[in-house]
């Protein structure tokens, strides 16, 4: 696909005005969104007004470092006076009275917000097929899924409907759609970016992550959004580094895993990639993750448990969809939730409720926490000897719409390589991986230790 | 029903919810102010809006530690918050943030003294931190329940005792002590009627001598200390009767009916929610270091038992006086201020427990709103001590004037109103001569042995002096003259 702009640096170099830039993206959206279904709402008026304001600032040389960046937001991120629904019926009619901390930081650096992007309902899904607003289509092949849950964000960048987009990543929701769309998806370390104003799915996993077409855009977005937020007790006060000052790498010690059961195309591309890197200055070594089989189950036990509680607030009482059936408080709550949530969200709430029930808590939740601890320990062990771990981002090529929709287990396995970083709270990125036997986009995942985003981005910049 | 008491014993435990006097809520910066218009002290956080997150209130933690220190509990170093999940209209997030397996305070005890003077140590199981729900109001609209979210998210401590209560009097004494303690610690206003102190009672009975506990019934909705006492008494009789009749006591939650002092079944315990407790993932563990605990210790005010020791041992007040003074924190605080300005502790105590309390009672006001500053009361005490005023003049003429006009200076006022006691012998002599001249028959009677007439002479002299004469001095002079 021919792209007009590769990155913010590119945009700034061309000296295009923000007004023209916004018109360009609005044109792109106008031309493609009907078939791709990435945007749920386009903030045309607001984007145009802001573009003018920022052009003024550029003239006066007072513009922030994101001037010229036009950003789309996943529909679970909150902006004051804008609707946000998490692609769910249950939040129909909801308008946010406040702006997420991370987004405020983008605005403070003069980014332009262009609209909200489709996702799997409540970020639960790996194909963007669970959205109340219908599936998002992969721009490379309209019969294929873009991955999920941040499918709209990935496609918006893939089809150049914005410069970059924000997604959220709980178990791969930024990285896997980035892999499926040939874009770059970064999941920062847990606590790196404030979650205040991000609708929670699983609180101990969720992180905002940028999806972009260049490493430099991912780096600058991370740099702007990172840092301690007094409104989020889980945000880290670790120093924010100058991520955007990308540097060449010293020789690194890199571990790679060699998973079984990969799609043929993925397997060949991955082998090719590994051979290429082993011929470089870096020292490459194969490792095994002893607990590989436990990753996906552990992830689903913990995330559904947290989700079942996090989603309790959507009860039709203070905001969002309220059922007309109101003979009793119980009926109103039950019906509002029954009418408002889709099947995948219900499945995960039910699963999580079961897991947290007194009877099963020890067997599932407590055990999963122990496994999570072991996974973290194993990752620490690996990072004592290596700077990074390589794997494919996903085991398959972008699959076809409806291919896995009826088989939740098959769908959950789409996350098998991405959940490890989420369980460990470490950072990871998916970068495009050259498909040597086909045309579909594939992703290479690089995982680094917590708060090692700087070396993650430098390495990604070399391997991309 | 007194015969039950010979055969059965009460086994009860109390759970007390203490609403903390923090300026903001437990996990948000919303203002807390009792009595504000409904739904004014709210924000996206306390309404549980999407994307909002809790941040713990350090002050609530300090208050929890203070209570724990006062009860000699073990203070936990690593505290994990938990979520208690259930759906209700006044619970915006669908869960309450609380502590489950790691309460901030473990164990501890509270000493109580019963009316007959017996002492008992009430063992605590735990004290933990949590947030309150909103308030459902069922009686203002026939067709709807109204919800006030001002209370949603306010900071609470829950204090749970072991099942150690053997009588309703013990429960009464315990709650009175808890109320006094939280007021001394300034962590709660301790007002049960306004709901800032709430008590649930777990009540069971068993035959005396039995070791196995009977089936427990939980009683709620008692909004005064005496209602807790009544509820326990009613439940004791009710459960004893059931057992006597060979019937079963059901494990259930019952509601106290203030109108007739009975309890009524609410719901069977078996049907109660599974609260699906799990660690709150939005809050990292709260670490309480030993250094932090020491810091809090430095800020601890003196507690009633320490003050009792101090008043009786150092200030040499009687046990009775000390008890009256420490009964209310405000009174004790005033006393503390007062003795900064006078070392006549006994007089200070007498003034407070006598004249000041009498005045407050008559006016129906709390000592919080007592206008006379301790300095002025101390000055008044000094005038009496120096013999410039008689106590009766001070109490009857000057004190009321000072209370009604804070601008007055006691000494200036006494002087300008010619109330300074004249101990000038000539003046007194003249008055005495005048009085004795008026009652020659009484003087004769006195001299023949009716010594009781002295009171009459003193009273007459006082009257003539318009209260300025010092009774002691008058007495002395009168004796001198009459016994010559």
Domain at B442, CATH number: 1.10.10.410
Asked whether residue B236 is assigned to any structural domain, the reply reads: yes
- Rounded to 5 degrees, what are φ and ψ at B360? -60, -40
Q: Are residues B288 and B310 in the same domain?
A: no
Catalytic: A105? no
Distance from CA of B342 to the nearest CA of A (A): 49
| Cβ–Cβ pairs < 8 A, chains A and B | 104
Q: Are residues B252 and B321 in the same domain?
A: no
Asked whether residue B297 is assigned to any structural domain, the reply reads: no
pLDDT tens across the length of chain B (484 residues): 457 888 999 999 999 999 999 999 999 999 998 889 999 999 999 999 999 999 999 999 999 999 999 999 999 999 999 999 999 999 999 999 999 999 999 999 999 999 898 999 999 999 999 999 999 998 888 888 899 999 999 999 999 999 999 999 999 999 999 999 999 999 999 999 889 999 999 999 999 989 898 999 999 989 999 999 999 999 999 999 999 999 999 999 999 999 999 999 986 654 567 999 999 999 999 999 999 999 999 999 999 989 999 999 999 999 999 999 998 899 999 999 999 999 999 999 999 999 999 999 998 888 888 989 999 999 999 888 887 887 888 888 889 889 888 888 888 888 888 777 765 666 777 788 888 888 888 888 888 888 888 888 888 888 888 777 778 888 888 887 887 6
Q: Are residues B259 and B307 in the same domain?
A: no
Asked whether residue B214 is assigned to any structural domain, the reply reads: yes
Catalytic: A60? no
Q: Are residues B384 and B470 in the same domain?
A: no
- pLDDT given for residue A241 in this prediction: 97
Q: Residue B197's closest CA among B321, B23, B21?
A: B21
CA distances from A279 to A28, A284, B337 (A): 41, 9, 84
Q: Residue A182's closest CA among A455, A390, A444?
A: A444
Instruction: Report the domain count for chain B.
Output: 3
Which domain, by its residues, includes B25?
3-292
Any CB–CB contact under 8 A between A231 and chain B? Answer: yes
Q: Are residues B282 and B384 in the same domain?
A: no
State which CATH number among 3.30.70.3270, 3.90.1300.10, 3.40.47.10, 3.40.309.10 fits the domain covering A1-464. 3.90.1300.10
- pLDDT given for residue B477 in this prediction: 82
Domain boundary pick from B416, B435, B470: B416
Q: Are residues B386 and B461 in the same domain?
A: no
Cβ separation of A234 and B53 shorter than 8 Å? yes
Catalytic: A203? no
As a whole number of angstroms, the distance between CA A207 and CA A166 comes to 10
Q: Are residues B171 and B196 in the same domain?
A: yes
Pairing of strands B252-257, B217-222: parallel
CA distances from B258 to B226, B231, B238, B393 (A): 10, 9, 16, 48
Q: Are residues B239 and B375 in the same domain?
A: no
- pLDDT given for residue B267 in this prediction: 67
- pLDDT given for residue B355 in this prediction: 92
Which residues from A are below 8 Å from B87, CB to CB? 312, 315, 330, 333
| Global confidence as pTM | 0.90
Q: Per the residue annotation, which of A7, A87, A131, A149 is the catalytic one?
A: A149
As a whole number of angstroms, the distance between CA B370 and CA B166 comes to 40
Whether omega for the bond prior to residue A373 falls within 30 degrees of 0, making it cis, is: no
As a whole number of angstroms, the distance between CA B241 and CA B219 comes to 18
- pLDDT given for residue B2 in this prediction: 52
As a whole number of angstroms, the distance between CA B191 and CA B428 comes to 55
Q: What is the mean pLDDT of each run of 10 residues along chain A (464 residues)?
A: 91 97 98 98 98 98 97 98 98 97 98 98 97 98 97 98 98 98 98 98 98 98 98 98 96 96 96 96 94 93 98 96 93 97 98 96 97 96 98 97 89 92 98 97 98 98 96
Q: Which of residues 40-99 of B touch A (CB under 8 A)?
A: 44, 47-56, 83, 85, 87-89, 92-95
Which residues from A are below 8 Å from B85, CB to CB? 308-309, 312, 356
Which residue's structure tokens are 């397996």?
A: B101
Which residues from B are below 8 Å from A204, CB to CB? 281
Q: Are residues B470 and B452 in the same domain?
A: yes
Q: Are residues B309 and B277 in the same domain?
A: no
Domain boundary pick from B236, B257, B292: B292
Q: How many other C-beta atoms are found inside a 10 Å radius of the C-beta of residue A351?
A: 19
8 Å CB contact between A137 and A144: yes
As a whole number of angstroms, the distance between CA B333 and CA B342 comes to 15
Q: Which of residues 283-322 of A touch B (CB under 8 A)?
A: 305-306, 308-309, 311-315, 317-319
- Rounded to 5 degrees, what are φ and ψ at A192? -70, -40
Asked whether residue B154 is assigned to any structural domain, the reply reads: yes
Pairing of strands A253-256, A283-286: parallel
Q: Are residues B105 and B128 in the same domain?
A: yes
Domain boundary pick from B399, B416, B433: B416
Which of B53, B274, B278 shows the shortest C-beta gap to A195? B53
Vertex A81: Cα angle to A80 and A82 (nearest 5): 90
Q: Are residues B133 and B170 in the same domain?
A: yes
- pLDDT given for residue B337 in this prediction: 94
């Amino acid at each position: 696909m021919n792209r007009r702009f590769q990155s913010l640096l590119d945009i700034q170099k061309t000296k295009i005005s923000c007004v023209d830039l916004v018109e360009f993206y609005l044109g792109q959206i106008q031309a493609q969104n009907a078939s791709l279904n990435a945007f749920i709402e386009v903030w045309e008026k607001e984007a145009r007004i802001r573009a003018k304001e920022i052009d003024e600032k550029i003239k006066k040389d007072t513009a922030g470092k994101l001037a010229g960046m036009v950003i789309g937001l996943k529909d679970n991120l909150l902006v004051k006076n804008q609707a946000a629904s998490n692609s769910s019926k249950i939040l129909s009619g909801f308008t946010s009275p406040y702006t997420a901390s991370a987004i405020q930081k983008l605005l403070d650096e003069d980014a332009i917000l262009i609209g909200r992007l489709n996702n799997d309902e409540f970020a639960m899904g790996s194909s963007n097929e669970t959205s109340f607003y219908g599936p998002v289509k992969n721009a490379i092949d309209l019969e294929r899924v873009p991955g999920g849950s941040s499918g709209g964000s990935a496609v918006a960048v893939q089809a150049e409907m914005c410069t970059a987009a924000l997604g959220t990543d709980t178990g791969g929701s930024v990285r896997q759609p980035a892999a499926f769309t040939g874009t770059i998806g970064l999941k920062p370390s847990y606590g790196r970016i404030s979650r205040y104003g991000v609708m929670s799915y699983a609180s101990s996993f969720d992180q905002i992550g940028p999806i972009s077409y260049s490493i430099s855009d991912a780096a600058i977005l991370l740099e702007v959004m990172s840092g301690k937020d007094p409104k989020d007790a889980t945000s880290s006060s670790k120093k924010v580094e100058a991520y955007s000052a990308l540097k060449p790498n010293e020789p690194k010690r890199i571990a790679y895993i060699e998973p079984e059961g990969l799609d043929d195309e993925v397997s060949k591309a991955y082998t090719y990639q590994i051979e290429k890197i082993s011929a470089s200055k870096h020292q490459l070594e194969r490792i095994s993750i002893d607990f590989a089989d436990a990753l996906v189950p552990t992830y689903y036990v913990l995330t559904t448990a947290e989700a079942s509680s996090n989603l309790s607030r959507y009860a039709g009482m203070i905001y969002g969809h309220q059922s007309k059936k109101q003979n009793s408080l119980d009926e109103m709550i039950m019906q509002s939730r029954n009418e408002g949530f889709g099947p995948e969200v219900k499945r995960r709430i039910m699963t999580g409720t079961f897991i947290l029930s007194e009877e099963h808590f020890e067997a599932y939740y407590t055990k999963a926490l122990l496994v999570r601890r072991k996974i973290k320990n194993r990752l620490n062990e690996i990072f004592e000897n290596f700077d990074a771990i390589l794997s494919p981002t996903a085991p398959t090529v972008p699959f076809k719409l409806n291919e896995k929709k009826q088989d939740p287990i098959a769908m959950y396995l789409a996350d098998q390589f991405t959940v490890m970083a989420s369980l460990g709270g470490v950072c990871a990125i998916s970068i495009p991986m050259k498909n040597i036997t086909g045309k579909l986009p594939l992703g290479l995942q690089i995982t680094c230790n917590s708060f090692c985003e700087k070396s993650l981005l430098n390495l990604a910049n070399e391997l991309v | 029903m007194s015969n039950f008491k010979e055969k059965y014993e009460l086994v009860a435990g109390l759970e007390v919810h203490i609403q903390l006097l923090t300026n903001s809520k437990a996990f948000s910066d919303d203002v807390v102010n009792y009595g504000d218009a409904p739904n004014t002290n709210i924000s996206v956080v306390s309404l549980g809006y999407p994307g909002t997150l809790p941040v713990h209130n350090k002050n609530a933690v300090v208050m929890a530690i203070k209570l724990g220190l006062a009860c000699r509990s073990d203070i936990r170093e690593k505290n994990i918050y938990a979520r208690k999940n259930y759906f209700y209209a006044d619970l915006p997030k669908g869960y309450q943030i609380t502590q489950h397996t790691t309460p901030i305070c473990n164990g501890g005890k509270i000493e109580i003294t019963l009316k007959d003077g017996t002492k008992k140590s009430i063992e605590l199981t735990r004290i933990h931190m949590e947030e309150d729900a909103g308030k459902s109001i069922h009686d203002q609209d026939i067709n709807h329940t109204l919800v006030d979210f001002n209370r949603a998210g306010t900071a609470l401590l829950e204090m749970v005792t072991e099942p150690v209560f053997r009588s309703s009097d013990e429960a009464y004494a315990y709650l009175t002590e808890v109320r006094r303690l939280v007021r001394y610690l300034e962590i709660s206003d301790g007002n049960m009627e306004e709901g800032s102190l709430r008590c649930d009672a777990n009540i069971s009975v068993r035959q005396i001598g039995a070791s196995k506990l009977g089936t427990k019934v939980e009683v709620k909705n008692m909004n005064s200390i005496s209602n807790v006492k009544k509820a326990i008494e009613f439940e004791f009789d009710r459960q004893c009767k059931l057992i006597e009749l060979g019937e079963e006591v059901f494990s259930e939650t019952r509601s106290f009916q203030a109108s007739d002092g009975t309890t009524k079944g609410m719901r069977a315990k078996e049907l109660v929610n599974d609260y699906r407790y799990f660690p709150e993932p939005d809050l990292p563990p709260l670490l309480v270091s030993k250094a932090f605990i020491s810091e809090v210790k430095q800020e601890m005010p003196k507690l009633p038992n320490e003050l009792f020791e101090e008043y009786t041992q150092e200030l040499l007040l009687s046990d009775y006086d000390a008890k009256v003074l420490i009964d209310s924190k405000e009174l004790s605080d005033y006393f503390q201020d007062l003795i900064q300005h006078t070392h006549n502790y006994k007089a200070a105590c007498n003034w407070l427990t006598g004249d000041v309390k009498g005045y407050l009672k008559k006016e129906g006001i709390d000592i919080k709103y007592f206008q006379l500053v301790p300095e002025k009361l101390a000055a008044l005490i000094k005038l009496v001590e120096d013999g410039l005023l008689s106590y009766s003049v001070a109490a009857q003429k000057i004190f009321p004037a000072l209370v009604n006009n804070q601008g007055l200076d006691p000494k200036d006022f006494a002087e300008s109103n010619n109330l300074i006691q004249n101990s000038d012998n000539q003046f007194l002599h003249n008055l005495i001569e005048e009085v004795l001249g008026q009652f020659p028959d009484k003087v004769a009677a006195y001299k023949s042995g009716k010594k009781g007439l002295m009171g009459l002479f003193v009273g007459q002299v006082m009257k003539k002096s318009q209260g300025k004469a010092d009774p002691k001095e008058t007495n002395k002079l009168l004796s001198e003259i009459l016994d010559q």
